[in-house]
Amino acid sequence: MRYIKQIKLVLITMLLLSGSVLDAQILDKSWHEITSKKEDDWFASAEAKTIADNVLLYQRDIGGWPKNIQMQKPLSEAEKQKLKALKSSSKDVTTDNGATYHEMIFLSKVYRAQPEPRYKEAFLNGLNYLLEAQYDNGGWPQFYPLKEGYYTHITYNDDSMVNILKVLKNIKDETGYFSIQPSEAVRKKVDVAFQKGIECILNTQYVQNGVLTAWCAQHDKNTLLPAKARAYELPSLSGAESANIVLLLMSIENPSTAVINSVHKAVAWFENTKITGLREDRVYNDEGKTISKIMVADENAPAIWARFMDLEDNTPFFSDRDGIKKATLAEIGEERRNGYAWYKTFPQKVLDKYPEWKEKHSSKNLKQLGNLFEVVVAKDGSGDYVSIQEAINNSKAFPYDRITITIKNGIYYEKVKVHEWNPNITLIGESKEHTIITYDDYFDKIDLGRNSTFYSQTVLIDADRTILKNLTIENSAGDVGQAVALAVNATEVAVINCNLLGHQDTLYASGKGQQYYKACYIEGTTDFIFGNATALFENCQIHSKRDSFITAASTPKEADFGYVFKDCDLTANDEVTKMYLGRPWRIYAKTVFINCNLGDHILPVGWDNWSKPEAEKTTFYAEFNNSGEGYRPNERVNWSHQLTKSEAKSYTIKTILGNPKKSSKKEWYELL
């Protein structure tokens, strides 16, 4: 019996000791090693939970984390109280050196094993932080909130932006890598943020003597050009950061032509700039610290790439804290020479992977379409194109027959233009709710002077006889001033069963032609339907999001009709109480509402002259047989009109949109 007790004691001691050894093995690792650990039973342990609690303490209310923290180190009670006091501070919150990225990965792994709601909440707060920190141009700064200095640059350094995009990609693709998934609304934001990030990567790829090359570790947030960081980090091309950027691009399942071209050009640059026959040797002291780096000739050494290469000719260079370029590593002081990674082998991973990737995508630009008049766009690669604009650009110019481009469900973050030479095109979505074309340009972002509004549109129609069906077209810039979702500068254009979403200037219905908007939802704040077209809006919902003006017509003097709304519902957000039907952008504006239901947000006076008294004599603002609390014909401004029955009879689709000349041919709108 005594021996049995002794055996039990030995076994218990061994278990306790083995546990202590395992604990020590974990605690001796770096934070990066712990977050990179494969998911196993350890993440269900009390130790993992304790570390996760530390992670929550270090997270700031804004959602992100500071950098260079060994989260696994035990915290005293005093340290915990200090961290709680820092919660509301956003100072030093960053994505640099893997901050926020590694904490989100760890929380996801712990949550899969220990699904506590607070871990999920912290992860989602981290995700919201990443979304909020993104620039309009798609890039991310090193610190957010912004920290003065080079920290505001778009930061590829130490893979900061690539790490963020990896998070977004796993979430949008629902790969299962993360145990936590956001709501559908947030996932859509993630999808758009990823697309914007890829667009930023494409836009910052450096053009050297007319040829795309690689990237700098940081790029100016305004000009997008390579930018200086610390004194020894001069504008240059970077072998290290560029490699992981290209690996990210190569991981995209169905890359666009632009992404494919970017990869091809970057790989060519890597081949051109690799250094062979040279290796780096290190001299260590007794403590194992590097005290010297020496470059040695070695014909058998693997290829290496310089950390910094000249923007003009790709010549490697080195610099000390004085910021002066040197030709060799030996020319700079020991502190920088030994304390910085001046050469990298990362691009070799790209070159190793490239042949297989190239084989998979080599025929992309040479794709032969079976039917030039029926093509499909699908983000998942199941169609003929993954980009709407690519499909349009490859369409036949001035076709005799109609070209139908079917767009599968998905969020398409791109500016789309149907060119003047692409008439007779139909863009038809799989469903209005889930086929979304979105972009976020706006007046101040465009910054091209007083006409910047007209460059801000998400979709631009310059081609006659274009048809849009079952789409959501959105300007997602927010309430930031003029920001057009859809601009139509053509005739015989039909927009059917579409959502047009935005704030100010949502729909620019212009050109001297005729346009037909049927069964559409159109929302906005100020002048959100504006321009000089003759346009019929039939069975549409016109939704106001703020007290302001619905229409701002600029109808030409000679036009018989301007904007005509028939059988439409005028609705508004609950807080909207003072909405005008319209005001004249130009003094001959014509706008008429017939058989429409007007909500109580419509002001009794109905119309405004835009501080143009002369417009009261030249505009034609009228109504007929409207209904609803907002229809108060007796209280309208005295220079507006209430149509008689005989006058209202002239407002037919034939008279508004038809050919005034007699013809046996069917009208264009009869062929929709």
Active site residues: 505, 527
Nearest of 669, 665, 641 to residue 653 by alpha carbon: 669
> Does the N-terminal peptide bond of residue 74 adopt cis geometry, omega within 30 degrees of 0?
no
> Do residues 490 and 469 touch, judged by C-beta distance below 8 A?
no
Provide the pairing of β-strand 467-469 with 425-429: parallel
> Do residues 266 and 238 touch, judged by C-beta distance below 8 A?
no
Return the SS3 of 15.
Answer: helix
Three-state SS string over 363-414 comes to CHHHCCCCCCCEEEECCCCCCCECCHHHHHHCCCCCCCCCEEEEECCEEEEC
| Helices 101-113, 117-133: crossing angle, 10 deg rounding | 150
Q: Please tell me the distance from the alpha carbon of residue 228 to that of residue 149, in angstroms, as a whole number.
A: 10
Return the SS3 of 662.
Answer: coil
Distances in Å between the Cα of 361 and the Cα atoms of 142, 190, 250, 350, 367 are 33, 26, 10, 15, 10
Token representation of residue 387: 């980009």
Q: Please tell me the distance from the alpha carbon of residue 94 to that of residue 130, in angstroms, as a whole number.
A: 10
Distances in Å between the Cα of 78 and the Cα atoms of 75, 82, 83 are 8, 6, 9
Q: Please tell me the distance from the alpha carbon of residue 384 to that of residue 404, in angstroms, as a whole number.
A: 12
Q: Please tell me the distance from the alpha carbon of residue 286 to that of residue 290, in angstroms, as a whole number.
A: 10
Which residues pair with residue 524 across a beta bridge? 544
For 316, phi and psi rounded to 5 degrees?
A: -65, 145
| Helices 257-273, 239-250: crossing angle, 10 deg rounding | 150
Token representation of residue 461: 């129609």
> Do residues 482 and 450 touch, judged by C-beta distance below 8 A?
no
Distances in Å between the Cα of 243 and the Cα atoms of 142, 184, 213 are 19, 32, 12
Provide the pairing of β-strand 343-344 with 305-306: antiparallel
Q: How many CB atoms lie within 10 A of CB 366?
A: 6
